[in-house]
């Protein structure tokens, strides 16, 4: 099975083999060494000198921790909502009794930074405590303009809490340079790991907010993780096999280098988008707002669920469908994490075959592969 979905993403063999090692005790010196090593690797990946904490949780668990540790009931928060995940963080805020204000854009369109600027500038009483942004909106393939929105947040003084689940390790997320207060991510994305670990970076300013934040928490209490991380341990039993795998994956990432990783994702995104144009398949996100992790396509004249079905049956290649209101309307190609140029060519060749199989005649056979080859070479 070949995964071309935005998570779980493909996992390199050395990482898989690390998972099959016998567990070790998590209160041992051996585990402490691994914890120290992966923490250092995570700081490199996040481009931060500050804390990056590791949770046994999905990306949603990590992001919830990133919200509830820094706020109190009734706090006013702005939540960018232009897809399933932005909407999910608004639901988390609602569940915890925050004063949630959705700043929405149509699905498939990026959030408008100017809307945030207007709201933040009008808030002279500084009642807005945090702004929550989904960087790469996995459900639509849109990359929101975090850098610009963050600039307005900085001018105001609120915390910026970022869902970087499908952007970290794919796009530049320079935590310290942008002074991002909280950045949440999950292992089954850019990390090239199976699902099972969540990560949260926390700025010194966020820790100041933590000191007075009153939302209840225990398992997701980041203060406990911070305290124990200082001793290279964890407050609750960590998934030690996933730590073995994380250590290997971070070494692979460090060997490749941050800039080459970002360039690879950019190149594969460009190639995938060039392909869809050459096949006459409309891209769901516009050029300036496309995620380097995932390309969403809204085909006309051919059914996206049928494309996915043929791709799976004939070639054992898994594409993602649309979620919630987009079910049946789009398909999504993941090019995130451990994806090679060869994988892109493979998927595109199969996509052409599937389209021909389905009688779709909106393209010249070979056009997609040719466009991919050209785009992959150009970069």
| Interacting positions 62-81 with a copy of itself (CB under 8 A) | 64
Closest to a copy of itself by CB, 217 or 251 = 217
Pairing of strands 159-163, 182-186: parallel
> How near is the Cβ of 61 to a copy of itself at its closest, in Å?
4
195 is an interface residue for a copy of itself by CB under 8 A: yes
Q: Where are the alpha helices (DSSP H) in the chain?
A: 13-19, 29-46, 59-68, 84-95, 113-122, 146-156, 204-212, 222-229, 240-256, 258-278, 304-315, 341-357, 367-378
Cα separations in angstroms, 57 against 161, 291, 376: 18, 24, 35
Shortest separation between residue 242's beta carbon and a copy of itself, angstroms: 6
Total interface residues for a copy of itself by CB under 8 A: 55
> Rounded distance, CA 308 to CA 355, Å?
10
> How far apart (Å, rounded) are the C-alpha atoms in residues 82 and 232?
38
**Cα distance between the two ends of the chain:** 28
CB 304 within 8 A of CB 330: yes
> Counting contacts by CB under 8 A, is residue 269 touching a copy of itself?
no
Shortest distance, position 187 Cβ to a copy of itself, whole Å: 9
Strands 294-297 and 198-202: unpaired
Under the binding rule (CB under 8 A), the answer on residue 263 touching a copy of itself is: no
5 near a copy of itself, judged by CB under 8 A? yes
Cβ closest to a copy of itself, residue 90 vs residue 209: 90
Cβ(184)–Cβ(136) below 8 Å: no
> Binders of a copy of itself among 95-124, rule CB under 8 A?
95-97
Residue 56 in the binding site for a copy of itself (CB under 8 A):
yes
**Stretch of 78-86, 87-95, 148-156, 254-262 lying at the interface with a copy of itself (CB under 8 A):** 87-95
Write the DSSP assignment of 54-94 as a string of letters: EESS-HHHHHHHHHHTS--TT-EEEEEESSHHHHHHHHHHH
DSSP code of residue 175:
T
Q: Which stretch binds a copy of itself (CB under 8 A): 90-98, 256-264, 267-275, 325-333?
A: 90-98
Q: Which of residues 313-342 bind a copy of itself (CB under 8 A)?
A: 318, 320-321
Q: Does 346 bind a copy of itself (CB under 8 A)?
A: no
Q: Which of 309, 289, 285 is nearest to 298 (CA)?
A: 285
The interface mask with a copy of itself, positions 206-245, x = CB under 8 A, is ---------xxxxxxx--------------xxxxxxx---
Residues that bind a copy of itself (CB under 8 A): 1, 3, 5, 7-11, 16-17, 19-28, 30, 56-61, 64, 91-92, 95-97, 186, 188, 194-196, 215-221, 236-242, 318, 320-321
């Amino acid at each position: 099975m070949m995964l071309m979905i935005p998570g779980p993403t493909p996992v390199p063999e050395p990482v898989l083999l690390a998972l099959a090692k016998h567990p070790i005790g998590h209160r041992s010196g051996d585990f402490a060494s691994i914890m120290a090593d992966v923490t250092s690797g995570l700081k490199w990946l996040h481009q931060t000198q500050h804390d990056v904490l590791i949770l046994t949780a999905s990306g949603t668990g990590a992001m919830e921790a990133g919200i509830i540790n820094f706020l109190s009931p009734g706090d006013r928060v702005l939540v960018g909502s232009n897809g399933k995940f932005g909407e999910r963080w608004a639901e988390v805020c609602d569940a915890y009794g925050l004063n949630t204000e959705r700043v929405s854009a149509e699905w498939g369109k990026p959030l408008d930074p100017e809307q945030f600027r207007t709201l933040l500038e009008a808030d002279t009483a500084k009642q807005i405590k945090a702004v929550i942004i989904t960087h790469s909106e996995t459900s639509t393939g849109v990359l929101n303009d975090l850098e610009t929105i963050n600039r307005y947040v900085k001018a105001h003084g609120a915390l910026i809490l970022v869902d970087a689940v499908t952007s970290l390790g794919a796009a530049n997320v320079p935590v310290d340079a942008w002074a991002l207060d909280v950045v949440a991510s999950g292992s089954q994305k850019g990390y090239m790991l199976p699902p099972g670990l969540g990560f949260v970076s926390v700025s010194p300013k966020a820790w100041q907010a933590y000191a007075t934040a009153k939302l209840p928490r225990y398992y997701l209490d980041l203060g406990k993780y911070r305290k124990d991380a200082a001793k290279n341990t964890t407050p609750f039993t960590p998934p030690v096999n996933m730590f073995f795998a994380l250590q290997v994956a971070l070494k692979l990432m460090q060997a490749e280098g941050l800039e080459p990783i970002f360039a690879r994702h950019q190149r594969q995104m460009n190639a995938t988008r060039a392909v869809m144009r050459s096949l006459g398949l409309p891209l769901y996100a516009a050029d300036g707002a496309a995620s380097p992790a995932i390309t969403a396509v809204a085909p006309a004249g051919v059914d996206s669920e049928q494309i996915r079905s043929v791709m799976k049956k004939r070639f054992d290649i898994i594409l993602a469908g649309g979620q919630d209101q987009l079910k049946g309307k789009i398909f999504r190609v993941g090019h995130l994490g451990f994806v090679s140029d060869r994988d892109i060519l493979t998927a595109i060749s199969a996509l052409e075959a599937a389209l021909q199989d389905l009688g779709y005649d909106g393209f010249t056979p070979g056009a997609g592969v040719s466009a991919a080859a050209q785009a992959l070479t150009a970069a």
